[in-house]
């Protein structure tokens, strides 16, 4: 069955003072109409204190989460649409507005062909009213994703830094939204931008290993600070404006004299890339964070190392000092993080005051057959949850190798065996993990490629992926679909769940993007990028039929009706339709029209009376299976990647590209006589 058919997300809880406490109210924040709850908080980005210190703002893929910095409790969510990694944001100096980096439209495909984001026409900066959560303005002009945002001290100008392929800083008038100029000299992505305290100078840090200083009024280049051996990830002014601190992937922090523009001190101690740096409000302390999982404090005047805070289990990516100087907030985030937490530290004792959890990026989830358990697949492991209470049951963590891009292809498939004893997940490009459903211990790994295959991929520049998986109705067999997606070569394998033996069903042209067993287990259906649905005998492997559909951009989703008489298929990319095909003849029976963008997933209700479809247009639609009549539309996502029914058919879960899920209550519809 297609990747999209097994997705939902857990209710995550908040950990206060290093212990979990009930904090379920956040699931109701800013819900769209008709939604029961939101599960998950999205992938972590940056952290900031409000200028008055009353709120801790944590930016994620779903929006800006606002916390009480004293208790660590969620107090609000400012939902933002079309967010894009690394989720930069900034408070205005008066604290009334938040500026965020977004995108107007991205075509995110569900198959490995879309393992990297398709070109985006327009990246934007959105200005939000902190009190009402309403959008105040949209600033347009960036051609690539935005890496950093900074307000001028007087709040009249916003500087936004362009990422890879852009290398430009744009200046915007906050009152009119019009461009005030551009800073163009860097030869690499601009990773950070900051104003001097007096507002006269702008400092920018870049992947070209330099820091550049610019006149904030004329946008003219002043000077270039050189000395770092690798990319510069962050730059910050001291409160008095006399010193600049820069953080680099060369594992160091450098301090520069603003007047002479000369290097003063190098802070050494980190053992991996330094990702962020910040001054304490009194200017006496510098805090740096690193991929070595530590937070280090330094004397800002002498450069002497004063303390190391440990507790994060993966790279620390963002840091903020509270205005009163008593608290440091740090983030270990990103889609591939094994940590995904925000930690609040006491600056005097170094003790952890609170750990804010719930920001894991959810790739996939499956209901157990009894409907009582949800298994959630994340980048760093598998978690199971009580489907009724949302309480966490078990966790199996596996570390994932960090990647340079947030959008690398990463499995995202999870399925229970029919008897509920086993969970199959795709956690890497070429391996299916079989886990015991009760203990979550790994039983086996079904690896699709070997050493010779990897040599072949390196020589031919081909990359392998698994994009579809399904259990047979008796649970004895798993079918997987995928192939070498860079060359549109498809493969379908059968695996015996007990012996782990593999049988090749298909190798040939057309990357396989969806698979399903017929309800009787006798037939395997697979959709591919060539707009075909191929049918094979599940035992002999004999090809029974090839159905040439009218889809465009491939058959990216596919499902049998519960009675086995119909195959529902969804097209890819620009195809907005769902086709209902006669399972025996391949004849087109009905076309479901209504979505305005590609259909990413299809699922039948357990009783077979309804079909639910999810689309990149951000909606979930319900249809009567007998008549094809549209029954309801649920709106609230940016791009729906998957939909799934609960076993009792009363709840529908839809997953967004931001890694969160919305649950919708469904009223059962009798079959039309």
Q: What is the pLDDT of residues 342-382, one digit of tens each?
A: 999 999 999 999 999 888 777 776 677 777 776 666 655 66
Confidence category of residue 391, pLDDT binned at 50, 70, 90: low
Q: Which of 226-240, 344-358, 399-413, 435-449 has the highest mean pLDDT?
A: 226-240
pLDDT of residue 660: 84
Q: What angle do CA 487, 489, 494 make, to 5 degrees?
A: 150
pLDDT of residue 394: 66
Between 114 and 201, name the one with better pLDDT.
Answer: 201
Question: Does 666 score more than 80 pLDDT?
Answer: yes
Between 10 and 513, name the one with better pLDDT.
Answer: 513
Task: Please check whether residue 66 is in contact with residue 54, taking contact to mean a CB–CB distance below 8 angstroms.
Answer: no
Task: Please check whether residue 149 is in contact with residue 160, taking contact to mean a CB–CB distance below 8 angstroms.
Answer: yes
User: What one-character DSSP code corresponds to residue 16?
Assistant: E
Question: Does 4 score more than 60 pLDDT?
Answer: no
504 part of a folded domain:
yes
Alpha-helix runs per DSSP H in 444-560: 451-460
Say what percent of the chain tops pLDDT 90: 58
Question: Does 435 score more than 90 pLDDT?
Answer: no
- Rounded to whole angstroms, the Cα distance separating 143 from 164 reads 10
Question: Does 156 score more than 80 pLDDT?
Answer: yes
179-185, long-range: CB < 8 A, 24+ apart: 179/141, 180/219, 181/219, 182/219, 183/159, 183/212, 183/214, 183/219, 183/221, 185/212, 185/221
Which whole number is the average pLDDT over 421-445? 80
Task: Please check whether residue 319 is in contact with residue 276, taking contact to mean a CB–CB distance below 8 angstroms.
Answer: yes
448 part of a folded domain:
yes
User: What one-character DSSP code corresponds to residue 630?
Assistant: E
**What are the Cα distances from residue 531, in Å, to 393, 488, 566, 570?**
41, 12, 17, 10
pLDDT of residue 655: 84
140 part of a folded domain:
no
605 part of a folded domain:
no
Candidates 23, 25, 30; CA nearest to 662 is 30
pLDDT of residue 309: 97
237 part of a folded domain:
no
For position 515, which CATH number holds? 2.130.10.10
pLDDT tens readout for residues 532-547: 999 999 999 999 999 9
pLDDT tens readout for residues 456-499: 666 666 678 888 999 999 999 999 999 988 889 999 999 999 99
By mean pLDDT, which of 3-7, 47-51, 257-261 is the weakest? 3-7
428 part of a folded domain:
yes
pLDDT of residue 436: 82
pLDDT of residue 539: 92
Q: Which residue has the tokens 């008489």?
A: 565
Burial of 585 (0-12, 13-18, 19+ CB in 10 A): exposed
Which whole number is the average pLDDT over 396-404? 44
Sheet of strand 135-142: strand arrangement? 89-91, 97-103, 123-129, 135-142
By mean pLDDT, which of 49-53, 111-115, 390-394, 644-648 is the weakest? 111-115
Which whole number is the average pLDDT over 22-44? 77
Between 381 and 400, name the one with better pLDDT.
Answer: 381
418 part of a folded domain:
yes
pLDDT of residue 204: 98
Number of domains in the chain: 1
Mean pLDDT across the chain: 85
Task: Please check whether residue 423 is in contact with residue 394, taking contact to mean a CB–CB distance below 8 angstroms.
Answer: no
Between 464 and 285, name the one with better pLDDT.
Answer: 285
464 part of a folded domain:
yes
Confidence category of residue 110, pLDDT binned at 50, 70, 90: very low
- Rounded to whole angstroms, the Cα distance separating 289 from 273 reads 9
User: What is the domain extent for residue 391?
Assistant: 372-543
Beta strands in 510-624 (DSSP E): 512-517, 523-528, 532-537, 543-548, 555-560, 566-571, 578-582, 588-592, 599-604, 610-615, 619-624
Does residue 513 sit in helix, strand or coil?
strand
Which whole number is the average pLDDT over 135-150? 89
Question: Does 319 score more than 90 pLDDT?
Answer: yes
Tell me the torsion sign for CA atoms 67, 72, 74, 80: positive
pLDDT of residue 406: 29
- Rounded to whole angstroms, the Cα distance separating 391 from 22 reads 10
């Amino acid at each position: 069955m297609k990747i999209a058919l097994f997705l939902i997300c857990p209710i995550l809880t908040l950990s206060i003072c290093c212990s979990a406490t009930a904090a379920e109210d956040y699931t109701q924040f800013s819900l769209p109409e008709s939604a029961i709850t939101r599960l998950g908080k999205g992938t972590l980005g940056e952290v900031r204190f409000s200028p008055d210190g009353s709120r801790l703002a944590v930016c994620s893929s779903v929006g800006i989460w606002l916390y009480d910095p004293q208790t660590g409790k969620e107090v609000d969510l400012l939902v933002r649409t079309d967010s894009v990694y690394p989720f930069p944001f900034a408070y205005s100096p008066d604290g009334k507005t938040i500026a965020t980096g977004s995108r107007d439209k991205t075509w995110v495909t569900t198959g490995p062909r879309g393992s990297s984001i398709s070109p985006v026409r327009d990246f934007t900066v959105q200005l939000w009213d902190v009190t009402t959560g309403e959008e105040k303005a949209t600033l347009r002009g960036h051609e690539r994703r935005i890496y950093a945002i900074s307000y001028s001290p007087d709040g009249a100008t916003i500087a936004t830094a362009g990422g890879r392929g852009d290398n430009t800083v744009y200046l915007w008038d906050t009152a009119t939204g019009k461009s005030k100029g551009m800073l163009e000299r860097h030869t690499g992505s601009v990773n950070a931008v900051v104003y001097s305290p007096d507002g006269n100078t702008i400092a920018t840090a870049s992947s070209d290993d330099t820091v550049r200083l610019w006149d904030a009024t004329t946008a003219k280049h002043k000077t270039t600070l050189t000395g770092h051996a690798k990319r510069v990830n962050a730059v910050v002014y001291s409160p008095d404006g006399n010193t600049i601190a820069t953080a680099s992937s060369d594992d160091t922090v450098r301090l520069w004299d603003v007047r002479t523009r000369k290097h003063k001190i190098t802070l050494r101690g980190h053992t991996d890339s330094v990702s962020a740096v910040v001054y304490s409000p009194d200017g006496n302390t510098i805090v740096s964070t690193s991929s070595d999982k530590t937070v280090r404090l330094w004397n800002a005047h002498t450069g002497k190392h004063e303390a190391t805070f440990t507790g994060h289990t993966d790279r620390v990516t963002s840091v903020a000092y509270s205005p009163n100087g008593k608290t440091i907030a740090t983030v270990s985030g990103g889609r591939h993080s094994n940590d995904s937490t925000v930690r609040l530290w006491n600056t005097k004792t170094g003790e952890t005051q609170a750990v804010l959890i719930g920001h894991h990026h959810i790739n996939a989830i499956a209901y157990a057959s009894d409907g009582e358990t949800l298994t959630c697949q994340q980048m760093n492991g598998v978690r199971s949850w009580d489907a009724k209470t949302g309480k966490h049951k078990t966790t199996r963590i596996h570390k994932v190798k960090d990647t340079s891009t947030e959008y690398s292809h990463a499995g995202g498939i999870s399925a229970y065996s029919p008897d509920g004893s086993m969970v199959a997940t795709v956690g890497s490009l070429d391996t299916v993990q079989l886990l015991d459903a009760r203990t979550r211990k790994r039983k086996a790994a079904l690896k699709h490629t070997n050493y010779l295959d990897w040599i072949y991929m390196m020589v031919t520049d081909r990359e392998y992926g698994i994009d579809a998986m399904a259990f047979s109705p008796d649970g004895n067999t798993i079918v997987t679909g995928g192939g070498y997606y860079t060359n549109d070569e498809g493969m379908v394998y059968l695996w015996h769940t007990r012996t782990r033996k593999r049988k090749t069903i298909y190798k040939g042209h057309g990357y396989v993007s969806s698979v399903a067993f017929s309800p009787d287990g006798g037939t395997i259906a697979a959709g591919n990028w060539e707009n075909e649905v191929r049918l094979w005998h599940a035992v002999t492997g004999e090809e029974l039929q090839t159905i040439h559909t009218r889809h465009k951009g491939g058959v990216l989703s596919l499902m049998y009706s519960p009675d086995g008489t119909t195959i529902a298929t969804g097209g890819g990319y620009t195809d907005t339709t769902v086709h209902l095909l006669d399972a025996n003849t391949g004849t087109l029976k009905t076309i479901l029209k209504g979505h305005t963008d590609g259909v990413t997933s299809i699922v039948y209700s357990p009783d077979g009376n309804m079909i639910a479809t999810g689309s990149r247009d951000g909606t979930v639609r319900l249809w009567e299976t007998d008549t094809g009549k549209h029954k309801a539309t649920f709106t609230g996502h940016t791009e729906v990647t998957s939909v799934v029914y609960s076993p009792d058919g009363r709840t529908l879960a839809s997953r967004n590209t931001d890694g969160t899920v919305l649950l919708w209550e469904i009223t059962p519809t009798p079959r039309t006589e």
